[in-house]
Chains A and B, each alone.
Chain A
Amino acid sequence: MNENFGTITPLFGGALIGLAASLLLLWNGRIAGISGIVAGLLRPAAGEVAWRVAFLAGLFAGGVLLSVVDPRALDVRPPAPLGMTVLAGLLVGYGTRLGNGCTSGHGVCGVSRLSPRSLVATATFMLTGALTVYFVHSGLGGAR
């Protein structure tokens, strides 16, 4: 989709994400938190593997469909240098486990429930994210 579609495509895309999260809740009774879904595979427990693998397989299947419909959606290059990208990955992985969630689990599902933990977590990661962009990307003349 064209970025110039303004607010309509992000709203529509968001609605699809909300729909997907609702389906997972209705079907499996689970929160669609991507970091939690992935991390649950690292310490596999009985009954906790198949639905997670199915969700991730679906994610990739949706991605394959996207690459046909809208190839630009998957034309992705990390904007940061490799070392910074690796550090970012470590922080995202460790931080989402320590804080029990990411943009989907806290930011969408938890905020929807008005969970105090998720509201605070979302405000916190947005604040530190904005400060990081201010000092790293803007400060260095932009990796963009």
Chain B
Amino acid sequence: MALLGPFLAGAVFALGLGVSGMTHPEKIIGFLDVAGAWDPSLAFVMVGAIAVYAPLSRRIVRRAAPLLGAAFSVPTRRDLDPKLILGAALFGIGWGLGGFCPGPAILALLSWSPGVLAFVVSMVAGMAAFELQTSAPMDIAPSRRLSVGGTDG
């Protein structure tokens, strides 16, 4: 039963990506192609998601605790550091090159397309490279309030 929540969340997340057309990299590239035939779909997806999540999440974190677990694991850092900006910049370049961000790419594995598999395998390799690099002494220090794997997102 404990895993019903995250399972349902994943399923609804997938339906949202599919319904909104975000599994199609052409639509992502169309959104980023501001100088060409701009496709605003992704902006509407974000507006729809934020319009639901912003008010609901604000109410939810007022609870003493989530349904399961002792505390909310919500990022509290507010500082802007070079890693944040460099990481986001690199992610954006990859996003524009391939037309995939992590969620749609993982969902699109069900297309059984070898190219999608190649993307996801290299994405996980990129993540693993970062983990290997940071498991060396210079670990990510300032995210103290977060549990392991804590992240902005």
Which residue numbers of A lie inside 8 Å of B, CB to CB? Answer: 1, 3, 7, 9-36, 38-40, 42-43, 45, 48, 50-52, 54-67, 70, 73-80, 82, 84-113, 115-118, 120-122, 124-134, 136-138, 142-144
Is the beta-carbon distance between A75 and B3 smaller than 8 angstroms? no
Residues of B in contact with A (beta carbons under 8 Å apart): 2-27, 29-30, 32-36, 40-42, 44-54, 56-57, 60-61, 63, 65-69, 71-75, 77-80, 83-103, 105-111, 113, 115-116, 118-131, 135, 147-153
The verdict on A79 contacting B46 (CB below 8 Å), with A85-B118, A116-B78 known, is: no
Q: List 23 A-B contacts (CB under 8 A).
A: A11-B47, A12-B48, A13-B21, A14-B51, A16-B16, A18-B16, A25-B57, A52-B6, A54-B3, A59-B106, A60-B107, A61-B7, A73-B18, A73-B19, A78-B113, A87-B94, A89-B123, A112-B49, A115-B152, A118-B153, A126-B92, A129-B32, A144-B29
Chain B positions within 8 Å of A45 at CB level: 147-149
B78 lies within 8 A of A15 (CB)? no
Q: Say whether B96 contacts A132, CB under 8 Å.
A: yes
> In the complex, which residues of chain B have a beta carbon less than 8 angstroms from the beta carbon of A103?
95, 101-103
Which chain B residues border A101 with CB–CB below 8 Å? 151-153
